[in-house]
Amino acid sequence: MSTSTTDTTQKHQATLDAAVEALHGRTFFAAFPENPSPEIYGADADKEGRASFKAHRDQRFTELQQGESAGWAGQEESPYEQASLGIEYPYYKPETLVQNAQEVFGQWRKLKPADRAALLTETLEGMKDRFFEIAYATMHTTGQAYMMSFQASGPHAADRALEAIAAGYEEQTRFPEETRWEKPMGKYNITLHKTWRAVPKGVALVIGCSTFPTWNTVPGMYASLVTGNPVIIKPHPKAVLPIAIVVAEVQKVLVAHGLDPRICQLAVDANDHLIAKELAENPAVKLIDYTGGSAFGEYIEGLKGKTVFTEKTGVNSIILDSCDDLDKVAQNLAFSVSLYSGQMCTAPQNFFIPEGGVKVAGELVPYEDVVQKLAAAVTSLAQNPKAGPHVLGAIQSATTQERVRDLALEGSRSVLAHGTVDNPVFQNARTCSTSIHEVESSRVEQFSQELFGPIMLVIKTRDTQESIRLAADLAREHGAISCGAYTTDSAVKEQIMDEMSLAGTPVSFNLTGGIYVNQNAGFSDFHVTGGNPAGNASFTNPEFVIKRFTWVGFREPIA
Amino acid sequence: MSTSTTDTTQKHQATLDAAVEALHGRTFFAAFPENPSPEIYGADADKEGRASFKAHRDQRFTELQQGESAGWAGQEESPYEQASLGIEYPYYKPETLVQNAQEVFGQWRKLKPADRAALLTETLEGMKDRFFEIAYATMHTTGQAYMMSFQASGPHAADRALEAIAAGYEEQTRFPEETRWEKPMGKYNITLHKTWRAVPKGVALVIGCSTFPTWNTVPGMYASLVTGNPVIIKPHPKAVLPIAIVVAEVQKVLVAHGLDPRICQLAVDANDHLIAKELAENPAVKLIDYTGGSAFGEYIEGLKGKTVFTEKTGVNSIILDSCDDLDKVAQNLAFSVSLYSGQMCTAPQNFFIPEGGVKVAGELVPYEDVVQKLAAAVTSLAQNPKAGPHVLGAIQSATTQERVRDLALEGSRSVLAHGTVDNPVFQNARTCSTSIHEVESSRVEQFSQELFGPIMLVIKTRDTQESIRLAADLAREHGAISCGAYTTDSAVKEQIMDEMSLAGTPVSFNLTGGIYVNQNAGFSDFHVTGGNPAGNASFTNPEFVIKRFTWVGFREPIA
């Protein structure tokens, strides 16, 4: 027996309306609480989530309802244990997945946008019930610490998904489905009955990354789905479980409403070969969302006949000009570079500091003092047993750890060597504290690429003018996803806003306390809006959804 | 003394609000009357417009205010006289034009969207005062008949421009400029002051075509301008005057408001070389609107780092299944293929007729009878001295005339040979009546490309199912901008809507009387929305404007 789509649509209308309103208010809005407290999620939620995660280990994942598989595959390892999770997922040939998607396209696209939006909102309830399970799955694939694993993969991701659903719903219902068009011709009128359809583009593909398996996947996934496109989710082979759970929940809701679960499919790589290219190049695939490195991202962007949304790499800057309290600034920045060991797309990398020092409450603090204060704050955080492991987490990939270890920047000065971060629970965790290198401002090639991981570069500039110029040039030419600036001078602030706006980079000013440049709030902060080479994912402005469908109109005279 | 921008903004707010409302109502709306009657435009408007046009002939066009030129150039010829217009325009090197645009970018982008929208609306008043002059300029460059020259280049173009202004204004003001973001953290709140800017992408280029020099140019031109991008208009070298007048009017308003006229520049080709490629490839050019042939359009689309809007060629179909009155249908279709001698992007080319005939008021009319009825209607229109010349106009380019003359489709049957159309005023006009060829449905290669000009192909199909399949396949694979269908069967109608919607092609059903498949109404009919290879100009849905700017946000704690 299937659940009525009409009932589901009515059930979620208020949520959708509130989400659309939030998109335009851009004040704080969250449909899913980020606090994993028992008061909110239930006394046993955490324990049950952990147990559910453990139950997946060394088992086949059998929750998917997308037909018989061609085999089983799984390559996940826990960065906390440096050991395999032992989970296998059904493997399907790329052409099977695309053909499945084509078969169910008609069924999905013929639903009204409001019905699709409601069904998809319903799936987020299923996801919410598994936030803790997803959190542990995220920890043990990405290396994120527990709190980030819960928040980023759970409520924050679900809010970003709801944001995409709401934006897609709004854009598809912004123009009338039909109208009577009556043109006065003098002695008579010409009258036409006109109708319009928002026509989805076709099969959609979402290629996930290893560090944020749900947060970076669900926006494109839900944006494509709400606009009527069947979607194939191709997670990073090292971070499958968190999004596999979400896909299973989507399939459950589809089946409950009498729809084909293959409207949303999971596509895992085979153990011996990757399938992203084969999927992406299939002519039936019209939409691709991609998160990951720039080289593969540019290959995706270069494919003909596809609408592509990317979040690639960027070089994020901090501009230090002046502030009121340097200690607070240093603590805030130390947290930002250390959070998840610098493995966030929004983590700052390049710190531009004037050689003349930073004006603090009216007095100049010499350059070297600023550098040492930053280094001390970084060290203090990493070595604090109550904070360090919970902020830095673990390193997702051995490659990242090697990058930190092997980094050689000719002519640079090592300000702080990397170290390990003792983890109270996981003795074998792959950890790495932040290293700091001072590089010459003339050696742009050393700081013009993303050094993914816990690496902080300090660049001594002639003055703030040079800092701004370098930060803006880097963003424009190499991409940037975030920028932090500290200044008490309103003219400097306006200049930074103007120059970074032309480089398409959002700027956080004078952050201290419990808010960080890395953080990015659904329903308020636009994310990667396309103004520089870092990508055009555009969570979530109208562009993120309207490029997924086409308006087509029909007209006929009314007698 | 400069006019106050604030006054201008207030002056046009009501017009803008009405235009935004019309965009969403999609009922009939026109800010500029299409009727060239003396009651509306003044007793002497036509006479004065004709005199103004004549005064341009054999003169240099000196109205532009974009600095000293590097020379003079002009290549226009009247299709009605097959003689040079003798008009020369100032020529500027491409790098000069781009540098000019970069210099004035700051000034233009820093205006508020509402101010830009109002200034641009003001320019349409200047354009309106010159509608008749533009009409004669259009006649004698494109070969359009008088009525189309007036309507398409004057009021319809101005309405399309206003539509782009309104859409751009709406999209840039859909999100707040600032907000107070307050996040509850349990014991305290984190409060940020957030601001956002719609950041224009940079220098914009609009490449015009020879047949609709204002209608196809002003949407992209105004869409780029309203979103803060300085624009360079590169008209087709054979159709400069109509848009030169519009650019001059824009520059007048800019100057009157104390702004640099180089915010909107005209870029004519040199007499000995074309400059479109050099302009398009300039790295500072970020936005390109292009109307014209597919080969150059695909080159433009392939340029890296540009946001591109194109209107290329398409193959438009008519599907004949059933109707109530075949005579009325034949008259309507004869008008559609003959209007401006088939030189419209929306003109139908391929007529799919079932071999079993067309059901007319319940009775089957044999295939050949239908074909002959269409041919008779086409002949009757071309030979009617009171209608023929005023509908068919003249042929813009000798190449088009040669295409009709030399067309050889192996194995096809000539149903109707082309002829001339006597023009009562211009004995030397380059004219050509519509030719009709019957081609085999199996010879898809013969009807899968646009045969620009007065060429009608009749394709005998097994049945309506084959007609629909061929029309949809052609649109999906080769592009289409319009489709006409005649059916009294609601299931067939729904099937056509569904299949053509997947091919991204709007369909007009059962048109008879004074409304034609070629016509496309501002504020109501979406035009070339990107669903097939004909292009993605998208007049005017949100995509047409939002891809011209980037959202960038700024945030700072509130103490």
In this predicted model, what pLDDT tens digit does every residue of B432-455 receive, in sequence order?
A: 999 999 999 999 999 999 999 999
With a cut of 70, say whether residue B422 has pLDDT above it.
Answer: yes
**pLDDT, tens digit, 9 for 90 and up, residues A238-261:** 999 999 999 999 999 999 999 999
B500 in contact with chain A, both atoms CB, cutoff 8 A: yes
Pick from B179, B199, B524: which is nearest to A26 by CB? Answer: B179
**Cα distance between residue B422 and residue B383, in whole Å:** 8
**Sign (positive or negative) of CA dihedral B22, B23, B27, B33:** positive
Which chain A residues are Cβ-neighbours of B187 within 8 angstroms? Answer: none
Which pair of structure tokens corresponds to residue A277?
Answer: 């290219």
CA distance A464 to chain B (A): 19
**pLDDT, tens digit, 9 for 90 and up, residues A474-512:** 999 999 999 999 999 999 999 999 999 999 999 999 999
| CB proximity list for A525: less than 8 A, separation 6 or greater | A506, B194, B553, B555
Amino acid at the residue A231: V
Over residues B384-390, the mean pLDDT reads 96
Note whether B248 and B265 are within 8 A (CB): no
**Cα distance between residue B436 and residue B349, in whole Å:** 10
Query: Among A52, A31, A75, which Cα is nearest to A135's?
Result: A52
With a cut of 70, say whether residue A539 has pLDDT above it.
Answer: yes
**pLDDT, tens digit, 9 for 90 and up, residues B283-322:** 999 999 999 999 999 999 999 999 999 999 989 999 999 9
Note whether A247 and A214 are within 8 A (CB): no
Q: Do B506 and A553 touch (CB under 8 A)?
A: yes
Which chain A residues are Cβ-neighbours of B557 within 8 angstroms? Answer: 510-513, 515
Q: Do A199 and B501 touch (CB under 8 A)?
A: yes
Query: pLDDT at position A236, please?
Result: 98
A24 in contact with chain B, both atoms CB, cutoff 8 A: yes
**Cα distance between residue B150 and residue A469, in whole Å:** 51
Q: Do B529 and A521 touch (CB under 8 A)?
A: no
Please name the residues between 198 and 227 in chain B that touch chain A, using a CB distance below 8 Å: 199, 201
Pick from B182, B514, B556: which is nearest to A28 by CB? Answer: B182
Query: Among A63, A61, A459, which Cα is nearest to A250's?
Result: A63
CA distance B446 to chain A (A): 24
CA-angle at B433, arms to B428 and B436, nearest 5°: 155
Which chain B residues are Cβ-neighbours of A509 within 8 angstroms? Answer: 554-556
CA distance B186 to chain A (A): 10
**pLDDT, tens digit, 9 for 90 and up, residues B34-46:** 999 999 999 999 9
Q: Do A555 and B509 touch (CB under 8 A)?
A: yes
CA-angle at A532, arms to A527 and A533, nearest 5°: 105
Query: pLDDT at position B186, please?
Result: 87
Query: pLDDT at position B1, please?
Result: 47
Over residues B136-141, the mean pLDDT reads 98
Pick from A199, A509, A541: which is nearest to B502 by CB? Answer: A199
Note whether A343 and A211 are within 8 A (CB): yes
Q: For chain A, which domains are there?
A: 5-312+537-557 (3.40.605.10), 317-509 (3.40.309.10)
A155 DSSP assignment: I
SS3 A323: strand
Checking DSSP bridges between strand B317-320 and strand B350-354, what pairing results, if any? parallel
CA-angle at B318, arms to B317 and B321, nearest 5°: 140
ipTM of the complex: 0.96
With a cut of 80, say whether residue B559 has pLDDT above it.
Answer: no
Query: Among B350, B332, B379, B341, which Cα is nearest to B515's?
Result: B332
Q: What is the DSSP string of B344-385?
A: STT---EEEEETT-EEETTEEEPHHHHHHHHHHHHHHHHH-T
Over residues A442-452, the mean pLDDT reads 95
Over residues A202-231, the mean pLDDT reads 98
Which pair of structure tokens corresponds to residue B556?
Answer: 């700072």
B171 in contact with chain A, both atoms CB, cutoff 8 A: yes
A512 in contact with chain B, both atoms CB, cutoff 8 A: yes
Query: pLDDT at position A1, please?
Result: 46
Pick from A514, A542, A551: which is nearest to B529 by CB? Answer: A551
Query: pLDDT at position B28, please?
Result: 97
Pick from B25, B185, B199: which is nearest to A502 by CB? Answer: B199
Query: pLDDT at position A559, please?
Result: 75
B484 DSSP assignment: E
**Cα distance between residue B378 and residue B366, in whole Å:** 19
B191 in contact with chain A, both atoms CB, cutoff 8 A: no
**Cα distance between residue B28 and residue B344, in whole Å:** 22
Beta bridge partners of A193: A180, A556
Cα–Cα distance list, A200 to A104, B101, B547 (Å): 13, 37, 19
**Cα distance between residue B526 and residue B78, in whole Å:** 32
Please name the residues between 126 and 145 in chain A that touch chain B, using a CB distance below 8 Å: none
Note whether B199 and B213 are within 8 A (CB): no
Which chain A residues are Cβ-neighbours of B531 within 8 angstroms? Answer: 199, 201, 550, 552
What spatial distance separates the first Cα and last Cα of chain B, rounded to whole Å?
44
Beta bridge partners of A203: A285
Helix (H) or strand (E) holding B413: strand B413-416
B550 in contact with chain A, both atoms CB, cutoff 8 A: yes
Note whether B268 and B238 are within 8 A (CB): no
What spatial distance separates the first Cα and last Cα of chain A, rounded to whole Å?
44
Which chain B residues are Cβ-neighbours of A194 within 8 angstroms? Answer: 26, 524-525
User: For an interface test with A, which of B175, B287, B555, B556 has the most A Cβ atoms less than 10 Å from its Cβ?
Assistant: B555
B501 in contact with chain A, both atoms CB, cutoff 8 A: yes
What pTM, to 2 d.p., does this model score? 0.97
Which pair of structure tokens corresponds to residue B480?
Answer: 């289409």
Q: Do A546 and B542 touch (CB under 8 A)?
A: yes
**Cα distance between residue A335 and residue A52, in whole Å:** 31
Pick from A171, A190, A514: which is nearest to B190 by CB? Answer: A514
Query: pLDDT at position A4, please?
Result: 87
SS3 A145: coil
